[in-house]
């Protein structure tokens, strides 16, 4: 019986670890499919602009049912012309990895300080 319980604990730890590793990909996909991001990037061709997505894990809680997680995703838009500024959009993405039906919640972050690069606010 002890071996069986140990095996169950190992399986649950493996599932929680794998779920935590995939949250960055889930968060980036949620940002890419957000309507405001799609509209903002619609006129920025890949020939003229480079768009990159950088996730930052903010933590979460995992249990036997699944994980509640938070990621800060920055969308960085850089023009391919010389000496052009970089534009950055910050989004907070939250979700539950155990729920297949629910989509992650995406919210835009507003910072009140001025940065060297241009910071874009989408309302």
- If one compares 24 and 22, the residue with the highest pLDDT of the two is 24
| Token pair of 109 as six digits | 């972050």
Average pLDDT value over all residues in the chain: 77
**CA proximity to 77, closest of 92, 60, 68, 90:** 90
Q: Pairing mode, if any, of strands 49-62 and 67-79?
A: antiparallel
Report how far residue 91's alpha carbon sits from residue 32's, in angstroms, rounded to the nearest whole number: 11
Give per-residue pLDDT as tens, 5-18.
Answer: 544 554 555 444 44
Q: How much is the average pLDDT of 28-57?
A: 91
Domain ranges for the chain: 2-119
Q: Pairing mode, if any, of strands 86-96 and 118-119?
A: parallel
What distances in angstroms separate CA 76 from CA 25, 46, 52, 59, 118, one per listed residue? 16, 13, 5, 22, 10
28: three-class secondary structure by DSSP = helix
Question: Whole-model pTM?
Answer: 0.67
């Amino acid at each position: 019986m002890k071996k069986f319980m140990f095996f169950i604990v190992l399986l649950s730890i493996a599932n929680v670890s794998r779920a935590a590793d995939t949250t960055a990909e889930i968060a980036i996909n949620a940002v890419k499919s957000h309507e405001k991001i799609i509209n903002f990037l619609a006129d920025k061709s890949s020939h003229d602009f480079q768009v990159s997505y950088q996730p930052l894990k903010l933590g979460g809680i995992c249990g036997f049912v699944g994980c509640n997680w938070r990621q800060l995703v920055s969308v960085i838009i850089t023009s391919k012309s010389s000496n052009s500024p970089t534009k950055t959009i910050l989004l907070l993405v939250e979700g539950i990895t155990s729920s297949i039906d629910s989509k992650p919640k995406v919210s835009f972050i507003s910072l009140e300080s001025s940065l060297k690069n241009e910071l874009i606010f989408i309302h």
